[in-house]
Structures are given as C-alpha cells and as structure tokens.
C-alpha cells in the first residue's frame, strides 16, 4: 500500500509510492537540448545585456567588458519594473496593482558550459556572496516585501538560456507560498516554543535515512514530504531566518555542500534539468525571525505535473525520500 504523508509546515498531503518505488532508471527525463546562437551571457557579449549592476571582476577591467567572474545585470525581459510607485486598486470584486519590482540576473560564471558541480569551490563562493550582496541591496528598497532567489537549469526546468545563471526577483508583496510557510512555522513555534526546522534537523540527523550529506554548518537531505521525486533540501544547522545574513564562515561550507549535492543529482540522472529556490524570510526591520529558518530547495525535473496535482495540491511521489537519499548518498 502507498503511504500518505503530511507536510508539518504547509499542511500539504502527498502520496508516497512505498509499494512500487520508482528507481532512477524508471524516469525518462527530457534531454537538455539547446538551440545554438550567440550567448548574451558569455564574455565579449556584455553589450547584449542591460548594463552591469555589480560584478566581481579583475580590477584592471571596466564594467561591461570581459574580465568578470560573476556579473549581475537587469533581466532584459523583466517580469516586473523597477521604476514607479506601487498603485493597488480594486476592479469590482478583483484586486490588482501595477507591476513594480526588481528582476536581476546573476551570471554565475564566464564559462558557458560550467554548472555548479563543474566550478571550483571559490567560484561558487563568489556566486553566494554576490547573491547575498544583491539581496541586501534590494532589502533597502522600502517598496519590496520579499526577495526570491532561484535558478532554472535546463529547458525542461523553464530556463530560456543555457549559460548558467541565477535570478533575483524583488516583490512588492509576500508571495502565497512564503506566507503559508511562515504561518506554518509560526503555528509550530507558538505551540512548542521551538523552530520547526531546528527540530527537523535534529530528527533527520538522528533518523539518518533521509540524510544525503552534512558538513560543519550545513545538512542536505530528502525531505519527508516533497512534491517531486529526488527533491533535496539544504539547510544551515544554525538558526538564521535570512539567507543574506549568512555568516562569512558559512559561505565556503555552503559552496561545498551545494557542489557535492548537485553533483550527486547529476550523477544519478545524467544531468537532469532542475530548479533551485532559496526560501528566506520576508523583508522586515527585524534582525531575524525566531520561528523561520532559511533553506534551499532543489527539484530535479523528472516527472510531469498533471490534473490530480493541479486540482488538489496533493502530489504523487513515486520514489520515497528514504530511497532517493540512499541513491544520492552512494553516488
């Protein structure tokens, strides 16, 4: 019989196929086939992107020329526009606003074909440091309530360009998923006076069966409840609600666990498309929120979402996370 599992934070139920668990070879994922063409993110093509916002570059080079290691530009086709004041209004029973926000692209590396696992640790550290810097900068804009960092790798994961990059979107309202997660964490805290993610880390380290790997400051594991098979969570062991408030000592450890965890996913599945999302607390004036704990979700794109999932919010998880973690640990 399959198993029903409930996410203790959002309350989502999922169906885990513990009866006939799917093995890695049971998934047919789409190959990452790209159209050719001039890549706007490669060194030498700097003029093809909007002007540089910030970069780590050879001090002898000028902005918008080669010589950078990590480069941030505005998205050429931004989902939201940075200029203007937020104007919320009603329309009969509906509610709307103009599309104010920020949409930046962090070009991870000058190398067109190097994703996280192919980079050196210090190169990944630069991506992390730059994404924290950009978040902190966007935090200062009083119009923004939430900063989302994410990465789409491969066309099946929604990436429109092959060159590895990360996106940063600043939103004028806290999105639904973040609100729900916050509320769930707050409910647990009110009841137990403890952070649910701190408790989860303890339980996962004790149970061991869902753990992929750990280092001094981070744990990577397959969550008890996920939406997708082989979904992975990377979480700092020390409580902290903001990604961008990460301690400088944590940066090399995060770079190391990110590199190894994504490498494991790519070893099991021959480089599948994947989405990576940072879950961090909304922008507040507080130094931190005691009930929220930032973390990273990585979702390899192996299955399709169908009517059952869209209609119910239930998800069918063909591989139990315990089995997924075992495959990933061993690769």
Q: In the structure encoding, which two tokens stand for residue 270, read together?
A: 């021959």
- Alpha-carbon span 233 to 211, nearest angstrom: 10
CA dihedral 113, 251, 55, 242 (to 10 degrees): 110
Minimum CB distance to its own copies, residue 7 (Å)? 9
Task: Please report how close the Cβ of residue 12 comes to its own copies at its closest, in angstroms.
Answer: 5
Q: Out of 75, 167, 186, 215, point to the residue binding its own copies (CB under 8 A).
A: 167
Question: Is-catalytic flag, 165?
Answer: yes
Q: Is 185 in the site for its own copies (CB under 8 A)?
A: no
Strands 218-221 and 232-236: antiparallel
Residue 184 Cβ vs its own copies, minimum distance, rounded to whole Å: 11
> Alpha-carbon distance 63 to 301, whole Å?
36
Q: How far is the CB of 62 from its own copies (least distance, A)?
A: 32
Selecting among 163, 165, 279, 295, the annotated active-site residue is 165
Residue 98 is a binding residue for its own copies (CB under 8 A): yes
Contact flag: residue 305 with its own copies (CB under 8 A): yes
CB of 251 to its own copies, least distance (A): 21
Instruction: Decide: 73 and 85 in contact? Cβ < 8 Å.
Output: no
The reply to whether 180 sits near its own copies by the rule CB under 8 A is yes
Q: Does 124 bind its own copies (CB under 8 A)?
A: no
Is 1 near its own copies (CB under 8 A)?
A: yes
- Choices 37-45, 132-140, 252-260, 272-280 (CB under 8 A): range interacting with its own copies: 272-280
Sign of the Cα pseudo-torsion (188, 189, 194, 195, in order)? positive
Burial of 37 (0-12, 13-18, 19+ CB in 10 A): exposed
Site stretch for its own copies (CB under 8 A), options 14-22, 63-71, 128-136, 242-250: 14-22
DSSP structure string for 221-272 = E--SS-SSTT-EEEEESS--S-GGG--TTHHHHHHHHHHHHHHHHHHHHTS-
When the beta carbons of 35 and 140 are compared against its own copies, the nearer one is 35
H-helix segments, 270-320: 307-312
Q: Is 84 in the site for its own copies (CB under 8 A)?
A: yes
Q: Does 178 bind its own copies (CB under 8 A)?
A: yes
Site for its own copies in 129-158 (CB under 8 A): 146, 148, 150-152, 155-158
* Identity of the residue, 68 or 153, whose beta carbon is nearer to its own copies in the bound complex: 153
Q: Which of 34, 26, 196, 203 is nearest to 112 (CA)?
A: 34
Question: In the range 53-82, which residues lie near its own copies by CB under 8 A?
Answer: 77, 79-81
Compute the least distance from the CB of residue 61 to its own copies, in Å: 30
Closest by CA to 166, choosing from 100, 107, 119, is 107
Instruction: Kindly tell me which residue out of 22, 116, 130, 196 binds its own copies, with binding defined by CB under 8 A.
Output: 196
Which SS3 state, helix, strand or coil, does residue 138 take? helix
Among 95, 190, 249, 287, binds its own copies (CB under 8 A): 95
Catalytic residue set: 165
């Amino acid at each position: 019989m399959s198993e029903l599992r409930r996410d203790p934070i959002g309350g989502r139920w999922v169906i885990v196929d513990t009866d006939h668990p799917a093995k890695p070879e049971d998934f047919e994922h789409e190959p990452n086939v790209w159209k050719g063409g001039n890549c706007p993110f490669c060194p030498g093509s700097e003029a093809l992107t909007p002007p540089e916002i910030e970069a780590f570059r050879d001090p002898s080079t000028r902005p918008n020329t080669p010589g950078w290691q990590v480069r941030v530009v505005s998205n050429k086709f931004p989902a939201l526009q940075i200029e203007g004041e937020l104007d919320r209004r009603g329309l009969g029973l509906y509610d709307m606003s103009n599309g104010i926000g920020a949409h930046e692209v962090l070009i991870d590396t000058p190398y067109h074909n190097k994703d996280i696992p192919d980079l050196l640790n210090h190169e990944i550290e630069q991506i992390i440091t730059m994404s924290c810097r950009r978040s902190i900068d966007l935090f200062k804009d009083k119009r923004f309530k939430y900063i989302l960092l994410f990465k789409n790798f491969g066309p099946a994961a929604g990436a429109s360009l092959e060159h590895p990059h990360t996106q940063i979107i600043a939103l004028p309202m806290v999105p639904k998923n973040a609100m729900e997660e916050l509320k769930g964490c707050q409910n647990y805290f009110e009841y137990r006076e403890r952070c649910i993610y701190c408790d989860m880390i303890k339980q996962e380290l004790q149970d061991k069966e869902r753990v992929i790997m750990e280092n001094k400051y981070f744990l990577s594991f397959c969550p008890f409840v996920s939406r997708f098979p082989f979904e992975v969570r990377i979480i700092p062991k020390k409580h902290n609600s903001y990604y961008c408030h990460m301690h400088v000592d944590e940066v090399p450890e995060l770079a190391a666990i990110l590199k190894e965890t994504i490498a494991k996913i790519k070893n099991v599945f021959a480089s599948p498309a994947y989405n990576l999302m940072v879950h961090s607390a909304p922008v507040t004036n507080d130094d931190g929120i005691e009930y929220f704990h930032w973390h990273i979700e990585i979702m390899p794109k192996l299955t399709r979402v169908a009517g059952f999932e869209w209609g119910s919010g239930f998800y069918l998880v063909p591989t139990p996370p315990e089995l997924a973690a075992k495959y990933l640990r061993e690769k």
